[in-house]
Amino acid sequence: MTRNVFSYHKAPRLSLVGAGPGDPELITMKAIRTLQTADIVLYDSLVGKEILNYIPIGTPALSVGKRAGLHSYSQEEINDLIVELALLYGHVVRLKGGDPYVFGRGGEEVEVAIRNGIEVAVIPGITSAIAAPASINIPVTCRGLSESFWIVTGTTMAGAISDDIALAAQSSATVVILMGMSKLEEIMETFRFQGKAQTPVAIIQNATLDNERYVVGTVDNIVRVARAWDIGSPAVIVVGEVVRCSELVQNIQARTNINFQYQ
Ligand SMILES: C[S@@+](CC[C@H](N)C(=O)[O-])C[C@H]1O[C@@H](n2cnc3c(N)ncnc32)[C@H](O)[C@@H]1O
């Protein structure tokens, strides 16, 4: 008896997917659909646990979790894994917190994949830089208060405070700082140096998740306030007049009983 034997090999491809800021309802439908066609998923530690429920049962999922100071895989190892697993399994979904191209090193992963002949798709996500302030009613731009916003990293690859913070502090823009908690004091000093001691500041930890916490203060006192309330990473720091909007909404709510919710 003869049998037709043909080898079946899936084409290697990479989907770089943004999981949003953490709330499982803040992931996009396209991201969920992409997860459902994954042959293997590599995810970061900032991806909320509930988001992982969108990965079909039986699909292997590997945490390559990167947390401040704790790197389970180096970026080079992750790049190699993407290529090896795409060749072995087919469709690799690389799931990242927020948007994959906002301080997500997504560009490096895509470059490696393309260099190795792997087809790439990028699914944007809602970045924590906008969702975290929004979750406590802070708009990053506001007519009459702020005409633009900067998203800056607090800590550069070399571990230093980014020079861009000093530039941003000179502007009238809303300044949103990610990965800044370990440099909070230095960052605030930079704003104070620009005469902004009384500018409002908010810090939102675990934004959009059940354990979200936040504090509001000024450039002058936020370090003390954050310490007093034990606010740590992951957190988004917002510096600018727009922070007053949060208070405004809360005051209106208190006076009118109107329940404002971020949807
Ligand atoms: C490596 S960056 C990745 C940013 C991500 N790609 C994004 O668009 O949100 C990690 C930083 O994002 C911020 N971050 C991410 N998710 C957050 C959340 N749910 N709450 C507060 N900060 C968050 C923190 O500043 C954290 O240190």
Which strands, in side-by-side order, build the sheet including 13-18?
A: 61-63, 40-43, 91-96, 13-18, 119-123
Q: pLDDT tens digits, residue range 174-185?
A: 999 999 999 999
Q: Which burial class, exposed, middle or buried, applies to 142 when counting CB atoms under 10 A from its CB (0-12, 13-18, 19+)?
A: middle
Ligand 1 atom with the smallest distance to the CA of 233 is: 27
Residue 160 confidence (pLDDT): 87
Instruction: Report, as ranges of residue numbers, the positions in the chain whose pLDDT lies below 50.
Output: 1-4, 7, 68, 258-263
Q: What is the pLDDT of residues 37-78, one digit of tens each?
A: 999 999 998 898 899 999 999 999 999 986 545 557 999 999
In sign, the C-alpha dihedral spanning 90, 31, 213, 245 is positive
Please give the sequence-ordered ranges of beta strands (E in DSSP) within 154-210, or none if there are none: 174-178, 200-205
Contacts of 94 (CB under 8 A, 6+ apart): 14, 15, 16, 17, 41, 42, 43, 82, 100, 106, 109
Residue 2 has a pLDDT of 46
The residues, any chain, with a CB within 8 Å of residue 263's CB and separated by 6 or more, are: none
How far apart (Å, rounded) are the C-alpha atoms in residues 145 and 152? 20
CA 148, chain centre distance (Å): 19
User: Taking a C-beta distance cutoff of 8 angstroms, is the pair 129, 235 a contact?
Assistant: no
* pLDDT, position 157: 83
Atom of ligand 1 nearest to the CA of 129: 9
Residue 21 Cα: closest atom of ligand 1 = 19
pTM for this structure?
0.91
Both structure tokens of 189: 């000093």
Lining residues, ligand 1, CB within 6 Å: 21-22, 46, 96-99, 102-104, 127-129, 132, 178-179, 204-209, 233-236
> What's the CA-to-centroid distance between 62 and ligand 1, angstroms?
20
Looking at residue 256, its pLDDT comes to 58
Q: Is 179 a catalytic residue?
A: yes
